[in-house]
Amino acid sequence: MQSVTNDAPRPQPLVLEEERRPRPVRSESAAAALLAGAALLTCLHARAAGTDAPDADVRPTLPDVVVTATRSERSAFDVPGSIDVVKVEPGNTLGVNPSEYLQSVPGLLARDRQNYAQDEQISIRGFGARSTFGVRGVRLYADGIPATMPDGQGQVSAFSLGSASRIEVLRGPFSALYGNSSGGVIQIFTADGSEPPQVEVDAAGGSYGNLRLGVNARGKSDAFGYNVDLSRFSTDGYRGHGNAERTNANAKFTYDFGEGRKLTVLANAIALPNADDPLGLTRAQFETDPRQAVASALQFDTRKSVHQQQGGAIYEQTLSDTQSLRVLGYFGHRDVEQFQSIPVATQKSPASPGGVIDLAGDYGGADARWNWHDIVAGGPFDLSAGLSYDRQNQHRRGYNNYLIDSLGNTTLGVTGALRRDEQDLVSNFDQYLQTTWSFAERWLASAGVRHSSVKFSADDRYIVPGNPDDSGRADYTATTPVAGLMYRATETWHLYASYGKGFETPTFNELGYRPDGSAGINFQLVPARSRNAEIGSKWRFGDGGGLNLAAFAANTRNEIAVATSSGGRTTYQNIDRARRRGAELRLDLPLGAGWRAQLAYTYLDATFRSAFLTCPAASTCTTPNTRVPAGARIPGVPRSDLYAALRWGETLGWNASIETGLASATPVNDLNTQYAPGYATFNLGAGYAFEMRDAKISTFIRLDNLLDKNYAGSVIVNESNGRYYEPAPGRSILGGVRVEWKH
C-alpha cells in the first residue's frame, strides 16, 4: 500500500519553453461595443425612470434573495460577487434538463448533449470544460445536499425541475468556499408547500419522439408542508441509437415545531434504464450526416443504466436572538452499468479493464453550521462556522463486452468475463468560516476560509498475470481563503471586488491509470490550484430590471489535462500553468406593456500558458510525443457566447417569445487542430393561459432551430478516436399543456 500526501515534494510536471504564435482574431471590439451599448441603454432607461440622480428617492423592486454565496439569506444585489437566480417556473419548454433554464446566466455553459447516457455538459468560466461525461470542476447541490461526490464528479440528471422554485449559480472567488472542485456552484431548491394546496398535471412532447409527463402536488396545513413530484421522460433521440427513458421522483416535507425549530425531510430517486449512447462523430461524419450513430455504437449496443435513491434531513433551530444552528445529513445508493465500444482485440490485453463498467456504491455525509447575526460597530454582522463530511464507498467492476461460444462465434454488447474488481473509497472532511459585515453606511466586507482534506483509497481484488495489484491511496489537503468588498454608490448601483484561492483534485477516473502503464493509482497527479480575482458593477432599475457587469481572471498551477488515451485507458498529467480571463454581462430590461428583454454575454479567453506534450487522437501513442504550444486554447470553451430573448405576455392570456443563441468556434482538443464551427440559432414560442373555475390551463407551442442550422450542440474534448462532435437537433417543434388545480 502506497501513500502520497500534499506535504510531500511535488513531482515536477513537464514544462517546455513558452513560445509566441499567431493568435486568431479576437472579438474584444465586438465585446466592447456590446458593453458600451448596454451601458448606454441602461443610462437611457434610468433617465426615463427618473433614477439617474444619485440622491433620487427610489423604491426599486426587491432583488432575489440567495443563500449560496453567504450561507445566510441576502439579496443577490448585496453580494460582492457574481451570483444569479433563475426562477424555475412553468413555461414554454420541455422541463427535462437544467440547460433549458440556465441560458440567461453569463459565464455558465450548459449544453444538452442529446445523449442521456452522458448527462449534461456544464462548465463555469472554463472550469469543468475538460469533462467528457458528467460534471467536473463545478459543485452541484440540491436543497443543500451535494450532487457532487467528494472526488469532484457530479451529475445533474437527478435534479427535479418539476418541483423546483429556483436555481442559484455562483461564479468567481467565493465559489472556493464550497471546497474541492468548486470552480463554480450550481444549487437547485425545491419549492415549499403552497397555501392553498394545489395539484398540477402537465404533458409536453414533439419532434424525435420527445415526451414528458409530470404530476406535482404541494400544499401546507398548519405546521406541515409538502411538495411531491413525479415525472417520466422518453425520447427516440435526434440521432440513431438515441433512445432513452428516465423517471424522476422528488419529495420535500417540512414541519415547523415553533420557537424557531424546523425539520425538512428530502427524498429523491432516478431510474434511467438502458439509455442508448450514439457516441460522438468525426468532422466528416458530422458534416455528411449529423443524425447518424457510429458503426461501433450499433455493433456493441453502447448504452448506460443508472438507478439512484437518496434521502436526507435538515434540522434548523434558533438558539437565541442572535444565534442559530443548522444540521444536515444524507445517505444514498447509486448503481451504474455502461457498455462501451472498446474493440475485442484491445480487451485481450491482460491490463485491459474490459468494455463494461459496473459500479455500485453508497454515499452520504453531514454538515453542521452555526450562525451568528448581530450589530457590530453600528453595522449588521453575520458569521457562519461549520464542519462538513462526505464519503463515497464504491465497488467498481469491469467485464468484457463480448462472449465467445463453444463454436467460436462472438456476441458483442453483452457482459462477458470479469476484468476488474476494485473497492474505491473517497472522503472529505472540511472546516469553514465565513463572515459578512456592513462596517460603514456604504461599505460591506465579506470574507471566508475553508480547509479541506480529501482522501482516496483503492483496494484491488483482481490480480492476475499481466495485471498486478493496483491498490493504493492518495491524500490531498488545501486551505482556500477568499475576501470581497462592496461599495454602495447609490441605492441602485453597487461596485465590488473579490479575490480568493481554489483547488481541484483529480477524480477517481483520472487517478485510475498511470501514463507509464504500470499498476496503481497515478501518484504523479496533484491538485490544480487557482488564484481568482473579480471586479464588477450591479445596477437595479426602478421597475425591477437590472444590469450586471463583471471582469474576471483565474490563474491555475498544475492544470489537469490528458496525457495518453489508448486501449480504453485515459491517463492524465499536470500542466504547469493555465489562465482563464474574460468579462460577463447580464441585462434584464422590462420594456412596459408586458414586454421584457434579456441578454447574457460572455467573453472568455481560456489558454494553457505553458507548453506540454500529449498524444494526438486516433493514434496508438502510449507516451506523449506531440507538442502543445503555450497559448493553445483550453478545449470545450467558445471565446464568445451570447443569449438574447424578447418576451411578451402576462400570467393569463396570450404570450410569445423569440430567442437567439450565438457561439464562436470551439476548440475540441488540446492541440487545437480542430474546432466546432460557430453558430447562431433562433427559437420562437407562443402560448395561451386561461382560468376555468378552480383550474388554470396553460398551453404552448415552440419552434426550435428555426433556420434548421446544422451545428455541434456540444463536444467531447480530446476524444481518443477523433469523434469530437455531438450534433444538436435540426428544426423541431414542441408543444405542451399544463392544468393546475387549487383548493
Could you report the per-residue pLDDT of 326-383, keeping only the tens digit for each?
Answer: 999 999 999 999 999 999 998 988 888 899 999 999 999 999 999 999 999 889 999 9
The pLDDT value recorded for residue 91 is 79
Q: What pLDDT is stored for residue 689 in this prediction? A: 96
Mean pLDDT score, 126-132: 91
Residue 119: exposure state from Cβ atoms within 10 A (0-12, 13-18, ≥19):
buried
pLDDT of res. 369:
98
Residue 2 lies in a domain: no
Alpha helices in 409-564 (DSSP H): 508-511
Domain containing 121 — which CATH number? 2.40.170.20
pLDDT at position 92 is 86
Residue 503 falls inside a structural domain? yes
pLDDT tens, residue by residue, 250-292: 999 999 999 999 999 999 999 999 999 999 999 999 999 999 9
Alpha-carbon span 100 to 213, nearest angstrom: 17
* Torsions phi, psi for 154 (to 5 deg): -135, 170
Yes or no: say if 376 and 383 are a contact pair by the CB < 8 Å rule. no
In this structure, the number of other CB atoms found within 10 A of the CB of residue 169 comes to 25
Q: How far apart are CA 566 and CA 626, in angstroms?
A: 15
Q: Is residue 20 part of a domain?
A: no
Please compute Rg for the chain using Cα positions.
26
Q: Give me the half-sphere count of Cα atoms (radius 13 Å) on the Cβ side of residue 459.
A: 7
CA 374 – CA 60 distance, rounded (Å):
26
Give 608-676 as a 3 state SS string: ECCEEEECCCCCCCCCCCEEECCCCECCCCCCEEEEEEEEEECCCEEEEEEEEEEECCEECCCCCCCEE
Cα 331–333–339 angle (5° rounding)? 155
Q: Is residue 44 part of a domain?
A: yes
Distance CA 68, CA 141 (A): 10
What residue has cell string 424578447?
646
Which pLDDT does position 48 carry in this prediction? 38
Q: Give residue-wise pLDDT tens across range 602-625.
A: 999 999 999 999 988 877 787 889
Residue 583's pLDDT is 98
Q: Which pLDDT band holds residue 567 (cuts at 50, 70, 90)?
A: low
Residue at 6 is within a domain: no
Residue 495 pLDDT greater than 50, yes or no? yes
The answer as to whether 10 is a domain residue is: no
Number of continuous H segments (helices) and E segments (strands) in the chain: 5, 41
CA 163, 169, 175, 180 torsion: positive or negative?
Answer: positive
* Strand locations in 277-347 (E): 303-318, 323-339
**For position 468, what pLDDT does the model report?**
87
CA–CA separation, 211 vs 189, rounded Å? 24
Residues of the chain with pLDDT > 90, as a percent, come to: 78
Q: Name the pTM for this structure.
A: 0.90
Which range marks the domain in which residue 644 is found? 28-742
Instruction: Give the least confident one: 84-93, 418-427, 444-453.
Output: 84-93
Looking at 29-163, which runs of residues are DSSP E strands?
A: 65-66, 74-75, 82-87, 108-111, 121-124, 135-136, 139-142, 145-146, 153-154
What DSSP string describes 176-204? GGG-TT-SEEEEEEEPPPPSS-EEEEEEE
Mean pLDDT of 493-497: 98
Sign, CA torsion 149/154/158/159:
positive
Rounded CA separation 622/568 (Å): 12
For 182-220, the pLDDT digits (tens) are 999 999 999 999 989 999 999 999 999 999 999 999 999
Q: Look at 35-49, 79-93, 209-223, 684-698 and tell me which has the smallest mean pLDDT.
A: 35-49
Mean pLDDT over the full length of the chain: 89
Query: Structurally, how many domains does the chain consist of?
Result: 1
Q: What is the spatial distance between Cα 231 and Cα 299, in angstroms, rounded to a whole number?
A: 32
Mean pLDDT, rounded, for 645-671: 96
Residue 5 in domain: no
Task: Count other C-beta atoms under 10 Å from residue 693's C-beta.
Answer: 6
Q: Is residue 133 part of a domain?
A: yes
What's the rounded Cα separation, in Å, for the pair 498 and 520? 40
44-58, 68-82, 83-97, 626-640, range with the lowest pLDDT: 44-58
Confidence category of residue 543, pLDDT binned at 50, 70, 90: confident
